[in-house]
Amino acid sequence: MTTDTTHKNRVLIGKAGLDGHDRGAKVIARALRDHGFEVIYTGIRRTPEEIAAAAIQEDVAAVGLSSLSGAHLRLFPAVVEALRQAGASDIPVLGGGVIPREDVPLLIEAGITEIFTPGTSVATIVKAFTEACATHRSGRTL
Amino acid sequence: MTSAAIASLLERVHARDPRAISRAISLVEDNHPQADLIMSSLAKEPIEKMMVIGITGPPGAGKSTLTGQLISRFRAEGQRLGIIAIDPSSPISGGAILGDRVRMMQHALDPDVLVRSMATRGRLGGLCAAAGATVRIMANGGCSVIIIETVGVGQSEMDIIRLADLTLLVLAPGLGDDIQAMKAGLLEVADLLVVNKADCPGSESLALDLESVAPDRSRVCQTDALTGRGVVELSSRLASLDAEHRADGTRTDRRVQAQEREIVDLAIELLRPRLDLAVSALHSEPSTNPRHLAHELLLRLGIPDA
Amino acid sequence: MSKHPKLMDWEEKILQKSLERFPERQPQFTNHGGSEIPRLAVPVEIDDAYLHDLGFPGSYPYTRGVQPTMYRGKLWTMRQYAGFSTAAESNQRYRFLLDQGTTGLSVAFDLPTQIGYDSDHPMAAGEVGKVGVAIDSLADMEILFDQIPLDKVSTSMTINAPSAILLAMYVAVAEKQGVPSAKIQGTIQNDILKEYVARGTYIFPPRPSLRLITDIFQWCATETPGFNTISISGYHIREAGSTAAQEMAFTLANGCAYVQAALDVGLDVDLFARRLSFFFNASSDLLEEVAKFRAARRLWARIMKERFHARHPASLMLRFHTQTAGSSLTAQQIDNNIVRVTLQALAAVLGGTQSLHTNSRDEALSLPTEDSVRTALRTQQIIAHESGVADTVDPLAGSYFIEAATDRIEAEAMALIAKIDQAGGVVSCIEDGFIQRQIENSAYAFQRQVENGERVVVGVNRFQTDEEASPPLLRLDPAVETDQVSRLKAVRAKRDQSTVDSTLRILGAAAAGKTNLMPIILEAVKSYATLGEICQVLRNNFGEYRDRGHL
């Protein structure tokens, strides 16, 4: 006999690099919490490797990154790569911030699942995380 | 999921694979159908050897920062650590923001420091069970010291603390009435009373205050987690207390009691869905005495004379 | 009716003196119809409440402005924040801006510089030259100000944790141009407390950071009397999502902490207080913003007089820079941003700012293009020369709404400051996250209002259009980082290493003690020790601060 499963969507919201603008990351973290997510928040100024290690230890279903300093082309793929190195390439990475539209295909090519450009509604972002979690769960054997 | 898959997962847990450890924790925490199999496949020996430290105290006392300092001390001794950081879930959405690990990020790249954040998820006994399971899985993943950190305000967080071999109550000056409210219950549970932020005004009088109410004056320690002052003394106090408790049987007694608590909590969790089901079959009329109806409910489940 | 004696008193003692020293821009101000525009409109009957709460411009409590004639004497400084990738490119932009009629420079540094990493540090990867200019050593600073006479321009530097080092470099460059340090003018932001709360470019923990700041206060009082030693900033607190009243309260609370820190090391309040300056945000909520600026001036004057017992009038004056609200700009229909910026700039001018940066229309997408920067500057020039609001002092005074809002914001701010004082001061409130949480609550509440349509953002949740073409954006050359790193290596190879080593050793010893670090940092900078090397010595002594992720 078992009790009902108590599954929760667990995600990590992080800021890689040196950018200190965390308003967006914190608003998203709170919105996800208010939609029933368990959100691991890393704070600002983390390295891609630190974010990947935290994502693995916390067994999250998705990683969300925010960048406003223009370093996204370097940092977002670096997180994807750090996850891959750590054997966790199945964890999807979503990103947002001040990101020009023409950078979006480059980031998608580099393995970022979804990019939110300025003006994206919070509802859209929550929906994307919900879907990313569902996809991740269904693709997982263990 | 097959038992072969579970066997392979456990093999990887024993090989200290961080992904396997965190997966195993999630499966048990989520009450996955294979949770039982995972738990019964764990090795006893590492669980027997590990030391579990509970750290509690009001918000703002500097628990996470102090935990970060203790991690550094234990790492210097070559210990591998597991940290369970517990934060409350939102009662409305059921979600949570788990931010304690931010305060320990200086250990983020140390493969021998595993940090696991855990939300209370509104569970009564379930949190205790989840934390108890996490402790055992971490021990199987090679952690010799496990620290459970909670905000010691709710009853369920207090119960978690009972899982620990040793408990620290962390207080700081200037936190106001919270402390007064907490002190009563926690003073008895805590093995060491830590006055953190010892550099701030009011810390001396708080320490004196605690010494006057603590059963034993030597239980009061002073630290400043930001600078690390007093942390060496604190960790040696922990080591000697642990040795003492191992020698005089206190540790064994506590573990037996803790396990009894876990069993009861788990039993209630297991019973709950059946109670929920049975209560609707009761078709109870408005009554002046729901206690009586509760007895009747248990009777229907075959538990007489509760 | 005869003039109120207090008004006559002000005219004789304050206004007259000011007019003699700083004549007005025009002999006469008239509108198109030829009517004369009064310098200062006052109530028909001046009563005690007016004198207590408003008074006259250039006199306590400075509600109506810090100068008696305000913009009739001198327009605000039009100061556009800019800094691009390399020192050479930024130098080009500054000279362009000076040619376009800008009157003050404002230097944006890249994040590695702001956080004390050289361009070849692993943490700097991907960030070099991104949000501003990369400065590794004095060599970069020499290029940055090449052919810009430092005795003629005033330069504002948005630098906080390593501000002592950048100021020292500026002084060293001036010296090489033959300009004595006493002649240089400008501002260093140097406001570390708001970095912990909102902006994130901290290096050291609060206490040693405050020591660096008081060292700067002390050294500058004699060495660079024309330099504002700090720009106590609400701007970023507001950008992080605070309300207007919170912005003001937390900024003035930080101000109190700096004043107290300086008093605690034995400085005389009237020695350093006149070099304190402020930096606020201007959002589109025009009337609220005007009231905020007026309330800030009044409350600061009262705090300085009553709490810190400052005596010199200059110590009581809250002088401030304003920037329009970057976070209010939308990626949708970006031309709308020009209109937003106009409203915001107008609020700053009606609120009596001393200098102003207007944001460019494309900043929600990337760093601004030259065209957008020009339009932003033109916006200020139109307000200055066409709108007429600069021709009279504090034109909104006496509006029932404005005065009530001014009183309300002052009261809200006083209550918050009292709460912070009770909880052990700003540093404690930062450490336990109280201030961060207040700001985040406001930010989240605002976002929810936008999401559910309670708050209209034109082009975002109402009046949307389908947009296809992206506007032309400024793209940075990816070679910037490698070029900067090779320049840094060349500097390291060329300098006299033994001098560098010995100045850094001296700095380390001094940091462990109590002597003023500014002269030592100046020596280190002149030896071409890099920013990263100097900061590393200080990190070793002071430790590092890490985000605690308060949510």
Model confidence over B73-116: pLDDT tens digits?
A: 999 999 999 999 998 888 889 999 998 888 888 898 999 999 99
Q: Do C364 and A121 touch (CB under 8 A)?
A: no
Name the strands in the sheet holding C355-357, side by side, starting at the edge strand that comes first in the sequence: C227-228, C185-188, C154-158, C104-108, C77-82, C355-357, C320-324, C276-282, C230-233
CA distance linking residue C262 with residue C214, whole number of Å: 5
CA distance linking residue A130 with residue A124, whole number of Å: 10
Question: Could you give the dihedral angle defined by the CA atoms of residues C485, C491, C496 and C499, in that order, rounded to the nearest 10 degrees?
Answer: -70
CA distance linking residue B169 with residue B73, whole number of Å: 19
What residues contact A84, with CB distance under 8 A and at least 6 apart? A111
What's the mean pLDDT in C393-413?
A: 98
Model confidence over C455-502: pLDDT tens digits?
A: 999 999 999 998 765 666 667 777 899 999 999 999 999 999 999 999
CATH T-level topology, domain A10-137: Rossmann fold (3.40.50)
Q: Do C551 and B200 touch (CB under 8 A)?
A: no
CATH code of the domain made up of C70-452: 3.20.20.240
SS3 at position C431: helix
Which carries the bigger pLDDT value, residue B305 or residue B252? B252
CA distance linking residue C421 with residue B60, whole number of Å: 17
Give CATH 3.20.20.240 domain extents, chain C: 70-452
The two three-digit tokens of residue C420, written as one number: 């912070």
Residues of A in contact with C547 (CB under 8 A): 43-45
Helix C400-422 vs helix C244-264: angle between axes, to the nearest 10 degrees? 50
Write out the residues of chain C at the interface with chain B, using a CB-CB cutoff of 8 A.
205, 423-424, 428, 431-433, 543, 546-551
Question: Rounded mean pLDDT of chain C?
Answer: 94
Residue C321 Cα, gap to closest chain A Cα (Å): 21
SS3 at position B81: strand
Q: Do B89 and A38 touch (CB under 8 A)?
A: yes
pLDDT category at C433 given cuts 50, 70, 90 is confident
Nearest C-alpha neighbor of C213 from the set C280, C251, C263? C263
Count of pairs with CB atoms under 8 A, one residue in B, one in C: 28
Residue of B nearest to C430 (CA): B60
- DSSP codes joined into one string, B111-170: TTEEEEEEE-TT-SHHHHHHHHHHHHHHHHTT-SEEEEEEETTSHHHHHHHTT-SEEEEE
Task: Confirm if C10 and C69 have CB atoms less than 8 A apart.
Answer: no
Residue of C nearest to B104 (CA): C548
The two three-digit tokens of residue B56, written as one number: 């509690």
| Chains in contact with B, counting 3 or more C-beta pairs less than 8 Å apart as contact | A, C
Confidence at residue B71, expressed as pLDDT on a 0 to 100 scale: 96
CA distance linking residue C191 with residue C426, whole number of Å: 13
Q: Do B23 and A142 touch (CB under 8 A)?
A: yes
Residue B248 Cα, gap to closest chain A Cα (Å): 36
Nearest-CB residue to C548 (from B102, B174, B200): B102
- Interface mutation target, options C159, C327, C440, C470, chain A, most CBs of A under 10 Å: C440
Asked, as a colleague might, if the bond just before C61 is cis with ω within 30 of 0, I would say yes
Q: Do C451 and A29 touch (CB under 8 A)?
A: no
Residue B162 Cα, gap to closest chain C Cα (Å): 27
Nearest-CB residue to A57 (from B1, B116, B272): B116
A110 vs B: CB within 8 A: no
Residue of C nearest to A74 (CA): C126
Residue of B nearest to A46 (CA): B105
Confidence at residue A2, expressed as pLDDT on a 0 to 100 scale: 41
Q: Do A19 and C195 touch (CB under 8 A)?
A: no
pLDDT category at B180 given cuts 50, 70, 90 is low
Q: Do C546 and B99 touch (CB under 8 A)?
A: no
B5 vs A: CB within 8 A: yes
Q: Is the pLDDT of residue C530 over 50?
A: yes
Residues of B in contact with C196 (CB under 8 A): none
Q: Do A119 and C470 touch (CB under 8 A)?
A: no
Residues of B in contact with A37 (CB under 8 A): 95
Residues of B in contact with C433 (CB under 8 A): 60
Q: What angle do CA C530, C532, C533 make, to 5 degrees?
A: 65
What's the mean pLDDT in B199-210?
A: 80
Q: What angle do CA B158, B161, B165 make, to 5 degrees?
A: 155
Residue B288 Cα, gap to closest chain C Cα (Å): 44
Question: Rounded mean pLDDT of chain B?
Answer: 87
- Interface mutation target, options A22, A104, A125, chain C, most CBs of C under 10 Å: A22
0.95 surpassed by pTM: no
CA-based end-to-end distance of chain B: 39
- Interface mutation target, options A13, A19, A26, A46, chain C, most CBs of C under 10 Å: A26
Residues of B in contact with A30 (CB under 8 A): 97
B19 vs A: CB within 8 A: yes
- Interface mutation target, options B10, B31, B37, B98, chain A, most CBs of A under 10 Å: B98
CA distance linking residue B118 with residue B88, whole number of Å: 8
Residue of C nearest to A119 (CA): C331
Model confidence over C263-319: pLDDT tens digits?
A: 999 999 999 999 999 999 999 999 999 999 999 999 999 999 999 999 999 999 999
Mark which residues 39-68 of A lie under 8 Å from C by CB. Answer: 41-45, 47
Residues of A in contact with B92 (CB under 8 A): 34
Residue of B nearest to A142 (CA): B1
Residues of C in contact with B59 (CB under 8 A): 432
Residue B132 Cα, gap to closest chain C Cα (Å): 27
Residues of A in contact with B25 (CB under 8 A): 59
Polymer length in residues for chain B:
306
Model confidence over A80-112: pLDDT tens digits?
A: 999 999 999 999 999 999 888 889 999 999 999
Confidence at residue B208, expressed as pLDDT on a 0 to 100 scale: 82
Percent of chain C with pLDDT over 90: 86
Percent of chain B with pLDDT over 90: 44
CATH code of the domain made up of B43-259: 3.40.50.300
Model confidence over C88-98: pLDDT tens digits?
A: 989 998 998 88
SS3 at position A93: strand
Which stretches within chain B are classed as H helix? 3-14, 18-29, 35-40, 45-49, 63-76, 125-140, 155-161, 177-189, 203-213, 231-248, 250-281, 290-300
- Interface mutation target, options C123, C432, C539, chain B, most CBs of B under 10 Å: C432
pLDDT category at C232 given cuts 50, 70, 90 is very high
Q: Do C428 and B174 touch (CB under 8 A)?
A: yes
Nearest C-alpha neighbor of C38 from the set C354, C394, C480, C518? C394
Nearest C-alpha neighbor of C14 from the set C284, C317, C280? C317
A126 vs B: CB within 8 A: no
Task: Confirm if C434 and C423 have CB atoms less than 8 A apart.
Answer: yes
Q: Is the pLDDT of residue B183 over 90?
A: no
Nearest C-alpha neighbor of B130 from the set B140, B116, B142, B144? B116
Q: Is the pLDDT of residue B225 over 60?
A: yes
Helix (H) or strand (E) holding C49: helix C48-53
CA distance linking residue C189 with residue B244, whole number of Å: 56
Nearest-CB residue to C205 (from B64, B103, B226): B226
Confidence at residue C441, expressed as pLDDT on a 0 to 100 scale: 95
Model confidence over C188-206: pLDDT tens digits?
A: 999 999 999 999 999 999 9
Q: Do B200 and C424 touch (CB under 8 A)?
A: yes
Residue of C nearest to A70 (CA): C130
CA distance linking residue C36 with residue C392, whole number of Å: 10
Question: Could you give the dihedral angle defined by the CA atoms of residues B256, B64, A21 and C260, in that order, rounded to the nearest 10 degrees?
Answer: 160
Tally of CA atoms within 13 A in the half-sphere of A91 that contains its CB:
32
Residue C466 Cα, gap to closest chain B Cα (Å): 35
CA distance linking residue B138 with residue B141, whole number of Å: 5
Task: Confirm if C350 and C383 have CB atoms less than 8 A apart.
Answer: no
Question: Could you give the dihedral angle defined by the CA atoms of residues B224, B226, B232 and B234, in that order, rounded to the nearest 10 degrees?
Answer: 50
